[in-house]
Amino acid sequence: MKHLARCLRLPAAPLAVLIVTTSLTGLGVATPIPTLAQNPSQDASQGTSQGTSRNTSQSTSRNTTDDTDASDLPAPFTDTSLEAWKERKFAGSTRYRLVEKDGIRALEATSDGSASILYRKEKIDLAVTPTLRWWWRVDTLFDGIDQQRKDGDDFPARLYVVARLGPLPWNTLALNYVWTTSIPAGTVWHNPFTEKAAMIAVRSGPADLGHWVVQERNLVEDFQSAFGRAIDEIAGYAVMTDGDNSGQRATSWFGEMRFLP
């Protein structure tokens, strides 16, 4: 994914290189920095959704992987329309729409060699609700790429959270939770374009393909672990499915995204 930026009308920069920020027009981009070690068919311009699953993944206090009961149903996408969400295109357009998937409302994201992000501005007080829980489903992994390199920075499913550190649009930190092809779950690395974005592999490989999976992360702990910073508020969050670097196709689904104590 090469371009994630311009929501603040700033010059475009490589997507993996950009830091998502919030202000005025939405989650914007940052600057390149050297790396350090119930409307079932609504398009992105209109509405939102929910999901179902089998397995669980959580962070430090809650960021470990456990199995859930197979009878557990995924929670549907939280919003009933996408009016509160905005799309930013970088390399073509990932298709975002609300659908019925496995009997629940879900946000479907389809990339055919394209990259665009769907973001939502919303301040979340992490002192009150530090935990993010979401459901997602992936059916396809990308082959033949190194996802820790700039030219392989494609993922079938991503979820971002962004914290602002000050008034300047590039003064941000971002956590980027991804489903990887082979990078082991639990691996954390800097985005290949900037040290201000941390990549966190929360799911890896084909074992859970075709199943809904629930993830739970403590954002305060993840920001502290990735950046050594105490973060008490985020400015927004986003989802993305992108295949612009590899030219490959993928579809993913997102269910509930909920902030919890």
Q: What is the CATH number of the domain that holds 177?
A: 2.60.120
> Which residue type sits at 184?
P
102 part of a folded domain: yes
149 part of a folded domain: yes
**pLDDT recorded at residue 217:** 99
17: CB partners within 8 A, 6+ apart: 30, 31, 32, 33, 191, 192, 193, 194
2 part of a folded domain: no
Domain containing residue 82: 15-260
99 part of a folded domain: yes
52 part of a folded domain: yes
How far apart (Å, rounded) are the C-alpha atoms in residues 116 and 90?
Answer: 5
* Apex 237 CA angle, 234 and 242, nearest 5: 145
How far apart (Å, rounded) are the C-alpha atoms in residues 48 and 105?
Answer: 8
**pLDDT recorded at residue 196:** 94
9 part of a folded domain: no
Per-position pLDDT tens, the chain of length 261: 333 333 423 333 333 333 333 332 333 333 232 222 233 344 553 433 333 333 444 443 344 334 343 346 799 999 999 999 999 999 999 999 999 999 999 999 999 999 999 999 999 999 999 999 999 999 999 999 999 999 889 999 999 999 999 988 889 999 999 999 999 999 999 999 889 999 999 999 999 999 999 999 999 999 999 999 999 999 999 999 998 988 999 999 999 999 999
**pLDDT recorded at residue 120:** 97
* Count of structural domains, the chain: 1
29 part of a folded domain: yes
Quick one: which of 129, 94, 86, 90 has its CA closest to 232? 129
How far apart (Å, rounded) are the C-alpha atoms in residues 59 and 62?
Answer: 4
Residues 136 and 122: beta-carbon distance below 8 Å: no
5 part of a folded domain: no
